[in-house]
């Protein structure tokens, strides 16, 4: 590892729009961007044993929707669908795909 400190620089930006409607329903749309860089070179070793050395310079973009419903006065359950992509200087670290998930939140 070579370079000056700080070793890692992470910058993020997020926009979130929420809209309540109906009987306790809420729809949220979001967009995120995350930049991750290192000042010095790092080495990543793949599963097959090959090594790649370069400064880390990743950019993640994500956008999606979340639909939730409030029930029993203090619980919010929901579903999220998002598209995410990550571009990286390293072959093994770049990804793109659809993410699906559920949430359960306690609202005091």
pLDDT in tens, 68-108: 999 888 999 999 999 999 988 887 787 889 999 999 999 88
Q: Which two tokens stand for residue 76?
A: 């919010």
Per-residue burial over 38-70, b if 16 or more Cβ lie within 10 Å, else e, is: beeebebeeeeeeeeeeebebebebebebebeb
Q: Domain spans of the chain?
A: 8-106
Cβ-contact 104, 74 below 8 angstroms:
no
Does the predicted model carry a pTM greater than 0.95?
no
What average pLDDT does the structure give for the chain?
A: 88
Task: Judge whether residue 21 has pLDDT over 60.
Answer: yes
- Beta-carbon count within 10 A of 74 CB: 10
């Amino acid at each position: 590892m070579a370079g000056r400190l700080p070793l890692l620089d992470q910058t993020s930006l997020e926009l979130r729009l929420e809209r309540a409607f109906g009987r306790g329903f809420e729809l949220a749309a979001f967009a995120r961007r995350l930049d991750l860089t290192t000042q010095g070179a790092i080495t990543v070793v793949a599963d097959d044993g090959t090594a790649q050395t370069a400064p880390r310079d990743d950019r993640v973009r994500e956008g999606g929707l979340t639909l939730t419903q409030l029930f029993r006065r203090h619980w919010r359950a929901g579903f999220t669908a998002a598209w995410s992509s990550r571009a990286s200087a390293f072959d093994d670290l770049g990804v793109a795909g659809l993410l699906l998930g559920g949430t359960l939140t306690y609202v005091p």
